[in-house]
Amino acid sequence: MTNASKPPIWFWVVTGFYLLWNGLGVNQYLIQVNNTEAFRSQYTEAQLQEMLNTPTWVMRAYAVAVMAGFLASILLMARRRFAYPIALTSLVAVIAQMSYLFFEVKPPSLIMPILVLVCSVGLVFFSKYSKSKNWIA
């Protein structure tokens, strides 16, 4: 770490939150891709068919979103400056994925998709802020 200043305690709390949040996203992605019994038991047959017929590009955007978000969180924990561009990559993938969700699927509840978008934007701003404060180098 070159010239990085010591971050405050709340930096670690926020970073820990994002690591947990994105870890849960990776877990949910892997459960969906592997089509496990745990995944199938959460949804009705109609919902399952809709999810299993999701276009490949949306699933790829989902993969990039969760993996890049998780990697950005790890990089924040390690106080590495590459957290910001990786978080930005995750946000672009989230926007691509959510565009399909909002315009094609129209989910019955918008709470989770909006929460995902807000957390992704938050990760980008937090990593940029951390970089500007020289907490990551």
Question: pLDDT class for 136, splitting at 50, 70, 90?
Answer: very high
Is pLDDT above 60 for 68?
Answer: yes
Residue 4 within any structural domain of the chain: no
Residue 110: per-residue pLDDT: 81
CA pair distance 36, 117, nearest whole angstrom: 26
Residue 104 within any structural domain of the chain: yes
Residue 137 within any structural domain of the chain: no
Q: Is 111 exposed, middle or buried (0-12, 13-18, 19+ CB in 10 A)?
A: exposed
Residue 2: per-residue pLDDT: 58
Please write the tens of the pLDDT for every residue from 87-105.
999 999 999 999 988 888 6
Is pLDDT above 80 for 13?
Answer: yes
Q: Which domain holds residue 69?
A: 9-132
Residue 31 within any structural domain of the chain: yes
Residue 90 within any structural domain of the chain: yes
Number of domains in the chain: 1
